[in-house]
Amino acid sequence: MQTATGMVGPDMIAAELSEKIRARTARTCVVGLGYVGLPLAVELGQAGYQVTGIDRDPEKVRAIGGGECYIADVEPGRLAGLVGSGTLRATTDPAVLEAMDAVSISVPTPLRKTRDPDLSYVVAAAEDLAAHIHPGMLVILESTTYPGTTEEAILPVIERSGLKVGRDFFLCFSPERVDPGNKDFHTRNIPKVIGGMTPACTEMGALFYSQFMDQVVPVSSTRVAEMVKLMENTFRMINIALANEMALMCDHMNIDVWEVIEAAATKPFGFMPFYPGPGLGGHCIPVDPLYLSWKSKQTGHEARLIDLAAQINVQMPRFVVDKVQAALNDRSKPVKGSSIHIVGVAYKRDVSDVRESPALDIIKLLGERGGVMSYTDPLVPRIEIESRVLESQALDVMAKAADCVLVVADHSSIDYDRLLADADLVVDTRNRYQGVVSEKIVRL
């Protein structure tokens, strides 16, 4: 089809979508309104786009409709303002996709019990898109997964609609880089990597993100973009494993691993400090490298370093439990029957997320040895471990009564000076008491 401007069909599709993106008239949609999707939707709204969020959880949809914010990294006033002005709305109905111009998919990608990727949420989103896609739509997958997912699992489903990628619609992958609880880096100011199925797709995706992101980093393909995310998180996981193994070795040699790391960090080149801890948590660092390991095995290559690092990190909760047992033994107390109080059950400081949290394993393991378990976490009011529900308790009361207090997530709102004054024994897995000399403290 020739137009008055001389453009043929595909060129006209790209030109019209580009103009909508630049003019902020593109109708945008975020599928999945969790810790990645909701901040993205808010940034889109702040940039002047009309935004529709889709989530299968009616509670999230209800909360957004009432201007209620359930993600700590989103300022409640910003969300309420966007909802109140009609800029942002949410629904459980995927039929709204039919009216959208740009769609970002930010749904979960967990691992199955067999440790292989579960793409059911991603495929379901692709199925919804295939039923409602139209010419001139930009689709961007942000859910972390293995290299090849966009091309192998998303593209064939969408192309069943009869539309052709790079001509009728544009498909990209852009890894989310959210760091929950980070006050300095957030959705807008973290450089945004994007790779498309075709050069035209990459160009369209980069144009879209450049409207509301400070920096966009185009790469040559979706596979490269998918691998970027796994490289980042595998780097962290392996270096944390090294720090954890150093902690295990230093423990056997009676050396303070924290002092070693701090001294090593004074080298101005060739060293980046990573720190040991009670175990890895959250959805990304413990999980993402296993996507890469799984995919690598499919190609005939054994990812030995990744698998070994995962084994080291997985054993840290048991190492912490052994530390608690030894500390109690030094005070002539067995684990069995002792009151052990956990401070912080979230997977890291100042977040409410307990996914893959080492605290859950520690509570389970100490409970199996007969410990009487309780916890305090100002951000996590209740947890469930193997059908048993625990509720957060007042720290000032529990610290005085406990035989051992175990610091697992060192939330900044905790009064650690008072905790040390009240407790008889503190096992510190986060070096919160760095430089403090006290017979009460046992460090990792």
C-beta separation of 143 from 106 below 8 A: yes
Measured between its terminal Cα atoms, the distance across the chain in Å is: 70
C-beta separation of 97 from 86 below 8 A: no
CA atoms within 13 A on the CB side of 141: 36
Residues annotated as catalytic are 284
Measured over the CA atoms of residue 173, residue 178, residue 184 and residue 187, the dihedral's sign is positive
Q: At what angle do helices 222-253 and 316-329 cross, to 10 degrees?
A: 20
C-beta separation of 128 from 96 below 8 A: no
The residues facing 340 across adjacent strands are: 373, 404
Return d(Cα 194, Cα 175) in angstroms, integer.
7
C-beta separation of 335 from 435 below 8 A: no
Reference 318, options 398, 424, 429; nearest CA is: 429
Find the radius of gyration of the CA atoms of the chain.
25
Number of residues in the chain: 444
CA–CA distances in Å: residue 69 to residues 65, 86, 89, 90 = 10, 16, 13, 13
User: How is residue 343 written in tokens?
Assistant: 């401070």
Q: Where are the alpha helices (DSSP H) in 254-380?
A: 257-264, 288-298, 304-314, 316-329, 358-368
